[in-house]
Structure 1
Amino acid sequence: MKAKRLIFRLLLLIAVAACIEWFLYANKETQTGADVENVQTQQVAPTLAVKHSLEQDDLKLQLAVTNFSFSLENMGKENKHGEGHVHLYLDGKKVAKVFESTYVLKDIPSGKHEVMVELAHNNHESYGVSERFSVEVAP
């Protein structure tokens, strides 16, 4: 009878140890997944610097970006951090999507205009990174 109790207690102890080991392993996997998610959300934000010049009624843009790559092929697809395109606005209206570091907006009407250049995700949502400036096209 003592032998049966001893075996039962031993099996119970092994079962409890196995449950604890499984719990610790499952918790470690969850923490690892959470750590990966935290690293992804802490990725370095992209930056944008815009140089511009007017040649008659054409606006020439030079876009310097860091932690960002232009992607025409993934536009409208799943977002990837640091990938996308640029939205170009003239007087508050989106006039172009830009997929490279240089761009020329041709035939701007004469007068003073507000320009905004904004980094956008693949799904067109803003990164919250933009530059605004004014230009004046002579009549």
Structure 2
Amino acid sequence: MNRFVLMFVCFLCVLSGCVEDKPRPEGSMSVVPLDIVEASESAIEVSSLKQPKDIVVNHHVRGQNIYVECYIPSFTFKEKGGTNVNGEGYMQVYVDGKKVDEIFTAAFIIKGLEKGKHHIMIEVVHNDSSDYQLKKSWNVNIR
């Protein structure tokens, strides 16, 4: 019986030693550059220098409609007009090279496209309509 208890305690010690050194997944860390805005002895105020540099677009074609969902990191959708604020703005939607609408939300529907192939482009712009140099385009086939 004593031998069983001793083996059980040794087994628990081995298992408890393994839980502290867990491997970390590769690529899960990200680095965001910061700019020191104001420094004092008690706190340092920082702001991110990261501007929207990528747009992730998911789309689904159903009938003659395209359901579009966009994700832009560190970006807030605002109405057109006002001052140029970094990280704020809206999107302009183009179908076959023609501007069809201005969008102020991350998800929207392009309705009633004719049958055939179409080229869709989304351009992200500031509140004052200046360009972010951030665009995404793709082709769809309406059947």
Calculate the TM-score normalised by the size of structure 2: 0.64
Q: CA deviation at 1:137?
A: 0.7
Q: Which residue among 123, 136, 140 is the counterpart of 1:135?
A: 140
Q: Does 1:82 align with 2:87?
A: yes
**RMSD of aligned alpha carbons:** 1.6
Q: Which residue among 30, 45, 49 is the counterpart of 2:51?
A: 45
Structure 1: unaligned runs, 5 residues or longer: 1-34, 37-41
Structure 2: unaligned runs, 5 residues or longer: 1-35, 38-47
Q: Does 1:91 align with 2:96?
A: yes
Identity between Structure 1 and Structure 2 (%): 29
Which residues in structure 2 correspond to 1:1-139 (within 5 Å)?
A: 43-46=49-52, 47-72=54-79, 75-138=80-143
Structure with bigger gyration radius: 1
Distance in 2 (alpha carbons) for counterparts of 1:52 and 1:125:
26
Higher relative CO (Cα under 8 Å, sequence separation at least 6) belongs to 1
How many residues are paired up?
97
Higher relative helix content? 1
Q: CA deviation at 1:97?
A: 0.9
